[in-house]
């Protein structure tokens, strides 16, 4: 796995974990922010041929 792929995968993992925590704590603003970040990271992954699992 290349560094770019590893970085995208790691950032997605962190964002999903953060989203779960934000939802659990009721932080709607953070949840919205992380959802947007996840969407951006997924778009970047697809645009660059990085396989994503979730």
- Packing angle, helices 28-47 and 3-25, rounded to 10: 160
> Alpha helix (H) ranges present in 1-54?
3-25, 28-47
The domain limits of the chain are: 3-47
pTM metric for this prediction:
0.88
Q: What is the pLDDT of residues 10-38, one digit of tens each?
A: 999 999 999 999 999 999 999 999 999 99
* pLDDT over 90 (residue 53): no
Cβ 11 vs Cβ 41: under 8 Å: yes
């Amino acid at each position: 796995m290349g560094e770019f792929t590893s970085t995208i995968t790691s950032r997605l993992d962190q964002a999903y974990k953060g989203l779960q925590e934000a939802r659990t704590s009721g932080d709607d603003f953070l949840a919205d922010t992380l959802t947007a970040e996840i969407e951006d990271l997924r778009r970047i992954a697809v645009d660059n041929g990085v396989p994503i699992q979730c």
